Amino acid sequence: MNTVKKGDAFEDEVFELIKNYINSGSFWLNPKFCKFYKKKKYYSHKRSGYIVVDISIECFLDGKSEYSQLIVIECKDYKSKVPVDDVEEFESKLHQISGVNVKGIFASRTPFQSGAFNVAKNIGMALIRILPDEQIDWVLQRNPISSKFSERTKEDKVTSKTALNDDGFIGKSQNLFCYYNDIYSSFFINVLNEIVCGDKKPSHATIPSKYKIIRSKTLNHLSLDEIDARGLQLTIDSGAKKNKEPVDLYKIISYMTESTGLTFDLASELGTDENYTSVIGSMDSKNNIIKISSSLELNSPRWRFTLAHEIGHYIFHHGYMLKNTIDEHIDIIDNYSILDFKLSSNLYRKLEWQANMFANSLLMPRYDVINSMAELIKQLDIHNFNNGIIYVDNQHCNIHNYNYIITKLKKEFNVSATIVEIRLKQLRVLNDMRTQAVKFNLDLFGGK
């Protein structure tokens, strides 16, 4: 790919990413009052002519014909770090654009030189780095998150700061990192909201009360917190979670059928793939249908995870699969372990990682897990947390506590032992130091 095509492809990626974020309804600006452009011209008094910018977002007040705020994005896909000259040149463009309230975002595939970073910091310019696929390791267990918001924020700040400055940085299931106004984050909404309104909400700002399905033509990055939030919102909108009952997937089916037109075939004959492996679930984008194999027992842990996994594909990948040729039998769930992600394609890794993360979040909502854990710890009279909230090694007493907790949570959420273990590790409440297989049967979907 030549330099021009490479640059255009990166601009397209950034354009779709930002447009989809705003259209998702997770942003303070109402998408109805935003207009998105590529290569639009803006008048410069200094030039007595026009400046063409890579990407621009015009934000309007309700009923007004002139935009109240302009966000301009500069995109660079270099082989080396972004130099200070590029940031200073972009700053000059921003100053020349006529009008008020112009904000700049510099998006890059590579990190920023220290001088470039310092200039951006001092002039109030936002920085974004979007990693290439070869610098992303889509592995679930290697990227657990803390159950405490403050701890997650600290960890995210350190990671994002490194990503913005380090050439050799490898993202652990993350590909986007941002900086603006002393905020380092892999959660783009945090930075975008700060750019637009800071501590103030604009008068036209609204957040839609209903969850919105994003049908993107590109495969977007989603942080762990974002995926958790999507699962939580879906359970709220569908009324699928009440008290200590497991998430009611039938209510989610009804809600999605009514709100999106998605259909479900819960007793389908899916046959086998080209490797003669039984296909237990699929999401058919063209026909807008999720199919679950008739071989699975209805509402069993395996059935529930498979269905939640396919719903995750619909929410995150529906539009992408419509635009791109993707094997509808990508869900080789029986053939891979979330604990040891070794799919051959980086694209498949990303698709499956997001769908599995969503399934875990949907079936075991974070705060329900934390609340249940607090009760179980009290029942077990655990007081020593020096090695973690739940600590398990090969000692009988610790194995007993671990098995007790896993058994209780399996029943409460109607999931398998493996899903419980993975979710607890994600939430950083389980410190597993066992050196040999003194474990439950960790069949990924089994009820044991």
pLDDT digits (tens, 9 = 90+) for 242-298: 888 999 999 999 999 999 889 999 988 877 665 566 778 888 888 889 999 898 999
Amino acid at 431: N
List the one residue out of 147, 183, 151 whose CA is nearest residue 427.
147
Which parts of the chain register pLDDT below 70? 1, 24-29, 99-100, 137-152, 173, 197-221, 272-277, 320-348, 386, 436-448
Contacts of residue 406, defined as CB under 8 A and 6 or more positions apart, other chains included, come to 417, 420, 421, 440
Would you state the pLDDT for residue 135?
A: 80
**pLDDT value for 327:** 43
Predicted local distance difference test score (pLDDT) of residue 32: 81
Taking the CB of residue 295, how many other CB atoms lie within 10 A of it? 14
Question: Which pLDDT belongs to residue 219?
Answer: 60
Our measurement of the distance from residue 148's CA atom to the centroid of its chain's CA atoms, rounded to an integer in Å, reads 18
Cβ 221 vs Cβ 175: under 8 Å: yes
Global model pTM greater than 0.75: no
| pLDDT for residue 215 | 43
Element (H, E) at 311: helix 301-323
Compute the chain's Rg from CA coordinates.
24
Class of domain 224-363: mainly alpha
Where do runs of H (alpha helix) occur along 326-395?
Answer: 346-363, 366-380
* pLDDT at residue number 228: 87
Domain-wise residue ranges, the chain: 3-197, 224-363, 366-432
Sheet holding 289-293, edge to edge: 263-268, 289-293, 281-284
The CATH class of 3-197 is alpha beta
What pairing do the DSSP bridges indicate for beta strands 69-76 and 126-130? unpaired
Task: Please enumerate, as own/partner, the contacts of 396-399 that have beta carbons within 8 Å and a separation of 24 or more.
Answer: 399/438
Phi-psi region of 210 (alpha: psi -120 to 50; beta: other; left: phi over 0): beta
Burial of residue 46, with CB atoms counted within 10 A of its CB: 0-12 exposed, 13-18 middle, 19 or more buried: exposed
Q: Which of 171, 170, 86, 169 is nearest to 127 (CA)?
A: 86
